[in-house]
Structure 1
Amino acid sequence: MTVAVVGGGVAGMVAAWELARTSERDVVIFEASDRLGGALAPLRFGSVTLDAGAEAFATRGPEVRDFVEQLGLESLLTDPHPVGAWLQLPHTAGPLPLAGILGIPADPEAEDVRALIGDAAAERAAQDLHAPMRWTAQDRPSVGAVVRDRMGDALADTLVAPITAGVYSAGPDALDLRTVAPGLFETMLTEGSLARAVGAQKGRQEAAAKAGSAVQSLRGGLWGLVDVLERQLLAAGVRIERGRRIEDLAEISDCEDIVIALDAPEASDLLSRALSFPPLPSAFGGLGTTIPRSSGSGLPPWLIDDATRGVALVTLLLNAPQLDARPRGTGMLVSPKAEGITAKAMTHISAKWGWAKEELDAQLGAGHHAVRLSYGRIEDPHGPGRGSSDEELIALARRDVVTLFGQDLVGGPISGEQILDARVARWQRALPGTSAVQAARLREVQAALRRSGRMSGTGRPRLHLAGTWFAGTGLARVVPHARRVATDIARISST
């Protein structure tokens, strides 16, 4: 009995690894491109290799760390520098408040909060601690709706918007709170306060995580996980077919189980052909299409504008000793309202990761740094992003890096001559659906699969969904979800 995994990104690889480890099933991975790993990929500057995509995983739970240890990579686990990140606002820049989730503070009147939003906005936010709770368990609000109601517009626009833009490429009003911060809404209802809910959630996360580190990575780059995982898959007998795009599930209908580990628009194309009833076309628009309100669901179109949807990351190599002191911490999140800056975020790679600084110094000499700037926002589909040219993106990055580090650096501001090289990495459709409408559509697809019998075991082949669009953003959600999918397949097979 064979399990087919469609998609060789992290989710597909993890599901295949778990199946090979815990079952007797034959497993084959079909990957349309010529490489595995999805958003985990290397970026090479001569003899120095950095991450081209995801660079870290959240430690709010033990699942990814446990997985890394099972791969035998525990000795490579590393923490970022504890100095933390900064926030670039229209009127100022400063360290990001420490105690918060998505920029929502556990203490609205803390000094680091007041320093960024001002006394009046802090006092408005503190009303959350005593205001009556109008939200109920039946609500499915956006992040922005809850924050604006409980803590005010100023805090939502000043603290929360830059963080959601940097992490999800969207404003807080476009993000479903239950999707991007699982458990926070329910905790707020229990605590009667958003701030107290943040404090409770942070406490639980810190208890479950390695003390002192909200994220971790691997020495040498997180991309190295893919090579190790591939070697173990091959050793376990998993067949890997690169350059094999599955256009129709009928191509692999002889498999008893199929794991679809793709972005939702691609997954929906496959599912629409496999299942003949109407909810799927009304649940998703294919890439480059929109579904009108009259199509049956009564919902607005799926938010896929065109093939340029995604993000672009520009990594700059600098010879800039004035950055040795980490003048902007480990990087900056940028308010959408900050004038003269196009990037939504900047990561000072060599300040954040000690191994990267050591590698740059060893290969290129002291004073060398790597900085990564991110472009592409959902609310600005025509702005700079994945569809922009290399020349345009690099020019923007050269300008933005000077502006973000500022004119007050000891040793002087960064000059153009200090920027030695640049690399552009594009991630198509790297922005999973996180709005309330899209969350509802994902549930609609899952319900359609259940009705078809393809998830319960009565239909063949059985279909299973994995990956960022179905699990949530980040390895901390993708890895445990993919392992659960594999466990479910093994359980169904044994009954």
Structure 2
Amino acid sequence: MSEPSVIDVVVIGGGVAGLVAARECLKVGLDTVVLEARPEIGGCIASAELDGLRVDVGAESFATRGGHVAELLDELGLADSIVSPAGGGAWLALDGGDGGPRFAPLPKTGVLGIPASPLANDVRAVIGTRAAIRAYADRLLPVLTIGRESNLGELVEKRMGRAVLDNLVAPIATGVYSADPRHLDVDVVAPGLNPAMTRAGSLSGAVSQLAASRPAGTAVQGLRGGMTTLVDALRASIAHFAGRIETGDAVDGLRREGDHWVVTRAAGDDTRARFVIIATPASSALPWLASARPDWAAATTVPWPAGPPVELVTLVVDAPDLGAPRGSGLLVVEGTPGVTAKAMTHASAKWGWLAEEAGDRHVIRLSYGRLGAANPLDGQGDAAVTALALADASALLGRHLGSTDLRAVERTPWRDALSHAAIGQRERVDVLESLVREDPSIAVTGAWLAGTGLASVVPHAKEAALRIRHNALGLTPRP
């Protein structure tokens, strides 16, 4: 009886991190297979066909920082497909004091909502003059009270007051990281802010320095046709290098046998490989690591915080007269009356290519679910969720949208959105990654290690693959 064949690399997880890592291994001739439990690859990038439109129902853009995503897109032949959002900007929805919401444009100069100029007109329009004066007092607080801060929420409240925290910083923290700012690590979400405070002597002065050092240009971009265009290109590139992607069969175990790894699967045959890259969420990656290497159990079984359950509801409505009353969308301050959603993206107003395809229709995405609270859509039937989403969209856009306007609707739940930016998470990640680096035959990647968004995930996945392919080719072990 012949011995089972052993391939070079198995990548567990078919999200962008796994696909990027697999492609990097394939580029140097390593026989590589990607295993994905779900029927479709792409992870947090997904689309749906709604009323004849291909619409993103997951990540819809990427941060331009570092240039890592643009470099990957160029490699994949997608550079000409990169598009910038329309110039309408984002808004905030707040308590209007009359039982309904009020609206104001999101202030333009700041970092995570922390204003560089607390007395600016757009800041006062959100928090009022009295709260703006309190925020400006940050400039007058003694420099000696500034140390190295770790808690973003506590820092903002101490230096600028509760109004800035609740009405400017919290909505952005919730929208970007699905987390309360009191749970976020300053050094992770705002690198350079602590040393800038020491130099400037105030929080607003530090924000001014960081804002001035940012490169000019759009902070986020997208792809004509939607972000799943990237997934399609990665799939094609993996096929070009003779890689394989196997979907619909969950991995249920990982163990070491002699000089190779054995990946056991729920329905299919075991897969044997010299090297393994785990590119799944923490909820599955951590148990595999603990069972594969018992000496790693201490680092993998410590309490890892759970991410909030988030659900997107995407509407396509027939509303020729709607326009773009809230620009590209808005963030909702917690407690805003008459609104259940935490954020809304007016996708057809944000992306010109989608507006062209939609014609008189509008594509609106509403996001539900905040950390520490039950998702308001849990247990709700489709009819109730659709009615709630239409009511929220009507309240936020100032134009009644009813069932007669609705052309299509899609619910998309997202789970396991563990934030790399949570306080203490970076230390947990550092310990785990230092252990994994001791074994040259395994690597781990994904947003729970790398950070939120493709700008963090892509370079982390490439580095994980570079270490594996370096070791697979018999070169000096890469740290």
Q: Give the TM-score taking structure 2 as reference length.
A: 0.88
1:207-226 to 2 correspondences below 5 Å: 207=216, 211=217, 213-226=218-231
Give deviations 1:11-63, integer Å, cap 9, x for gaps.
01011112222x23222211111111111111111321110100000112211
Match of 1:120 among 110, 130, 140: 130
**Which residue matches 1:310?**
309
Aligned-pair distance for 1:439? 3.1
**Which residue matches 1:249?**
254
Report if aligned partners of 1:165, 1:336 keep a CA contact under 8 Å in 2.
Answer: no
Separation in structure 1 between the aligned mates of residue 59 and residue 113 of structure 2, nearest angstrom: 21
Match of 2:429 among 437, 442, 456: 442
**Which residue matches 1:73?**
78
Mark the runs of 5 or more structure 2 residues left unpaired by the alignment.
1-6, 97-101, 256-261, 264-270
Secondary structure of the equivalent of 1:464? strand
Greater mean alpha carbon deviation, residues 339-348 or residues 106-115: 106-115
Q: Does 1:399 align with 2:410?
A: no
**Which residue matches 2:267?**
none
Question: Structure 1's 20 and 281: CA in aligned 2 closer, same or farther, altered over 3 A?
Answer: closer
Code of the aligned partner of 1:390? D
Match of 1:102 among 92, 112, 118: 112
**Which residue matches 2:362?**
369
Code of the aligned partner of 2:293? L
Secondary structure of the equivalent of 1:163? helix
Aligned-pair distance for 1:243? 2.1
**Which residue matches 1:288?**
none
Aligned-pair distance for 1:204? 3.2
1:22-421 to 2 correspondences below 5 Å: 23-91=28-96, 92-131=102-141, 132-137=143-148, 141-207=150-216, 211=217, 213-250=218-255, 251-252=262-263, 254-277=272-295, 278-284=297-303, 302-304=304-306, 309-324=308-323, 326-361=324-359, 367-380=360-373, 382-385=374-377, 388-406=380-398, 413-421=400-408
Secondary structure of the equivalent of 2:175? helix
* Structure whose residues are more often strand by fraction: 2
Secondary structure of the equivalent of 2:35? strand
Question: Structure 1's 115 and 129: CA in aligned 2 closer, same or farther, altered over 3 A?
Answer: same
Code of the aligned partner of 1:160? V
Aligned-pair distance for 1:242? 1.3
Report if aligned partners of 1:283, 1:444 keep a CA contact under 8 Å in 2.
Answer: no
Aligned-pair distance for 1:433? 4.8
Secondary structure of the equivalent of 2:155? helix
Give deviations 1:407-454, integer Å, cap 9, x for gaps.
xx6xxx44443233211111122343532133332233224435xx22
Question: Structure 1's 81 and 112: CA in aligned 2 closer, same or farther, altered over 3 A?
Answer: same
Code of the aligned partner of 1:109? L
**Which residue matches 2:259?**
none
Question: Structure 1's 431 and 404: CA in aligned 2 closer, same or farther, altered over 3 A?
Answer: farther
1:444-483 to 2 correspondences below 5 Å: 444-450=431-437, 453-454=438-439, 457=440, 462-483=441-462
Question: Structure 1's 59 and 339: CA in aligned 2 closer, same or farther, altered over 3 A?
Answer: same
Secondary structure of the equivalent of 1:224? helix
Report if aligned partners of 2:420, 2:452 keep a CA contact under 8 Å in 1.
Answer: no
Report if aligned partners of 1:386, 1:426 keep a CA contact under 8 Å in 2.
Answer: no
Separation in structure 1 between the aligned mates of residue 53 and residue 434 of structure 2, nearest angstrom: 47
Report if aligned partners of 2:283, 2:416 keep a CA contact under 8 Å in 1.
Answer: no
Separation in structure 1 between the aligned mates of residue 236 and residue 214 of structure 2, nearest angstrom: 32
Report if aligned partners of 2:282, 2:416 keep a CA contact under 8 Å in 1.
Answer: no
Separation in structure 2 between the aligned mates of residue 98 and residue 148 of structure 1, nearest angstrom: 20
Give deviations 1:470-491, integer Å, cap 9, x for gaps.
0001111111111122222233
Separation in structure 1 between the aligned mates of residue 65 and residue 379 of structure 2, nearest angstrom: 34
Question: Structure 1's 237 and 387: CA in aligned 2 closer, same or farther, altered over 3 A?
Answer: farther
Separation in structure 2 between the aligned mates of residue 205 and residue 404 of structure 1, nearest angstrom: 31
Separation in structure 1 between the aligned mates of residue 386 and residue 144 of structure 2, nearest angstrom: 47
Separation in structure 2 between the aligned mates of residue 304 and residue 391 of structure 1, nearest angstrom: 29
Greater mean alpha carbon deviation, residues 368-377 or residues 146-155: 146-155
Secondary structure of the equivalent of 2:226? coil
Separation in structure 2 between the aligned mates of residue 315 and residue 349 of structure 1, nearest angstrom: 9
Secondary structure of the equivalent of 1:89? strand
Mark the runs of 5 or more structure 1 residues left unpaired by the alignment.
285-301, 362-366
Aligned-pair distance for 1:9? 0.1
Give deviations 1:236-257, integer Å, cap 9, x for gaps.
1212121232222222495332
Give deviations 1:135-185, integer Å, cap 9, x for gaps.
444x5x221011112211110011111111222222211222222333333
Code of the aligned partner of 2:386? I
**RMSD value, Cα:** 2.1
Code of the aligned partner of 2:105? P
Report if aligned partners of 1:279, 1:445 keep a CA contact under 8 Å in 2.
Answer: no
Separation in structure 1 between the aligned mates of residue 230 and residue 75 of structure 2, nearest angstrom: 12
Secondary structure of the equivalent of 1:322? coil
Greater mean alpha carbon deviation, residues 192-201 or residues 234-243: 192-201
